[in-house]
Every structure is written in structure tokens, then in C-alpha cells.
Amino acid sequence: MNRRKKIVLIADDEEDLTWSISLSLKRDKKNIRVFCVNSGSAAIDYFDKHEVNLLVTDLRMPDQDGFAIIQHIKEKEFSTKVLVMTAYGSAEINEELMRQGCADYIEKPFEIAVLKQKIYSILEDKSSIDSSGDTLRSQIKRILLMSQNLPELLLTVYQGRRQGKLLFSEGRVCCAELGSKRGKAALLEMLDWRDFVLKAENGVKEISVP
């Protein structure tokens, strides 16, 4: 079975750097597609037209900076993971990036081999479960059978640009959220989804609302 290629978007105003990273990634012949942009506004425009699995972005760029792109991803509730490249690393920057939910960051200058290791590690996140064509309804049944002894379980469901959350307590749905929808309306809309990715977290007692 052919797996759908993961999309990686590289955003940096240094064209030579984006070209070098892209070329090195393509040479590895992994199951990914790589695209490059050279400004923050171009990255935001790309997000509004395409699905992206991983954004690799510089922080300081003309017009819109890396934080503006990250904020755009959060506001649109995209499921994109973020890896930041920066020449201005500090404890404060690291703390802010983690607070923003970024997967990782790397300080410039760096070895491209090290950057690639981080990229592949993020894309191969073992806490995510690919649906492989099943409906969400059928996946939930399997997961609950395997997790029947867990008192609380949070499933975050990613389908394209949509993200929903299902909170289970003792094997039953106690809360559902999809955009502005809550409860039964959110649950019913998600149950027949296909081509989604699930992320499971144990011991979560409530859904946090941004």
C-alpha cells in the first residue's frame, strides 16, 4: 500500500539555505514532498491553499516573521507541526517556542544532517496513528478495546486542516469539540471521517479551550 507523502514547507529568506535543505531532503528519497518559500507572507499564503505536515521556519524574515506564521497556524487550527531555525536562540526564545507548541528548534549555524534528523523524528512521531482508510468510528472501537483499563483518554483528530478532540472517561465519550461545535454535534460530524490522523494522550481529565 502506498502511503500518502508528508508535506514539508521550508520558510527562510536565505534562498541558498532553503535550496540546500530541500536538495538534501530530496536526495534521501523519503516519503515526503518538500516546498520552499522565502518570506513569512509567502508561507502564510501557502498555508491558505495547501495542507502542510511540517513547517521548518526561520524566526526573522521580511514582512511576516516566524511567530506570525505560527500564530496563523494556531488561529486556523491547522495540525501542522513546527520546527524553528534561528540564529537568535536563548532560554527565553526556547520557552516561548515551547509555549507556542513548536515541536523543536535548532540554532544557526547548524549541520544539515542534524536538521534532517530532527525533521524525520518529528514526522515519524509514534504517538500518532494513521487511519489507513478506516472511519473514525471503527478506530475508536479498536482504541477503546486496547485502552479499556485507562480512566481517561484524549484523542486529538486531524483531518486536513480540521482538528477535533474527543475526551473519554471509563470507556465513554464525555466531551467532544470541533471548531465552534461542542458535544453531540461535534462527535457526529467526526465519526465518519476518513484519511485522518489520531493522537492519543492518557490521563487527560478535560479538554483545554484556547
Q: For residue 87, is it within any domain?
A: yes
Flag whether pLDDT at 54 surpasses 90.
yes
Last residue of a domain, one of 123, 142, 165: 123
**Whether residue 106 is found in the same domain as residue 85:** yes
Last residue of a domain, one of 90, 123, 156: 123
Flag whether pLDDT at 205 surpasses 70.
no
Q: Which of 3-12, 17-26, 122-131 has the highest mean pLDDT?
A: 17-26
Position 199 scores a pLDDT of 77
**How large is the average pLDDT for residues 187-206?**
75
**Whether residue 115 is found in the same domain as residue 174:** no
Position 4 scores a pLDDT of 80
User: What's the order of all strands across the beta sheet hosting 54-58?
Assistant: 32-37, 6-11, 54-58, 81-86, 104-107
Q: For residue 69, is it within any domain?
A: yes
Element containing residue 155 per DSSP (H, E): strand 152-159
User: What CA–CA distance (Å, rounded) separates 121 from 81?
Assistant: 12
Flag whether pLDDT at 210 surpasses 50.
no
SS (H, E, C) 105-129: EEECCCCHHHHHHHHHHHHCCCCEE
**Whether residue 106 is found in the same domain as residue 136:** no
**Whether residue 119 is found in the same domain as residue 15:** yes
The per-residue pLDDT for range 58-99, each reduced to its tens digit, is: 999 988 999 999 999 988 878 899 999 988 777 777 778 877
Position 13 scores a pLDDT of 94
Is pTM beyond 0.85 here?
Answer: no
**Whether residue 135 is found in the same domain as residue 155:** yes
Rounded to the nearest integer, the mean pLDDT of the chain is: 83
Q: For residue 210, is it within any domain?
A: no
Position 204 scores a pLDDT of 54
- From residue 47, alpha-carbon distances to 23, 80, 161 in Å are 22, 9, 9
**Whether residue 78 is found in the same domain as residue 10:** yes
Q: For residue 208, is it within any domain?
A: no
**Whether residue 56 is found in the same domain as residue 148:** no
**Whether residue 112 is found in the same domain as residue 138:** no
For position 36, which CATH number holds? 3.40.50.2300
Q: When comparing pLDDT for 202 and 186, which is higher?
A: 186
Q: Quick one: pLDDT band at residue 3, thresholds 50, 70, 90?
A: low
Task: Find the domain containing 119 and state its range.
Answer: 6-123
Number of domains in the chain: 2
SS3 content of the chain, % helix, strand, coil (to 5): 35, 30, 35
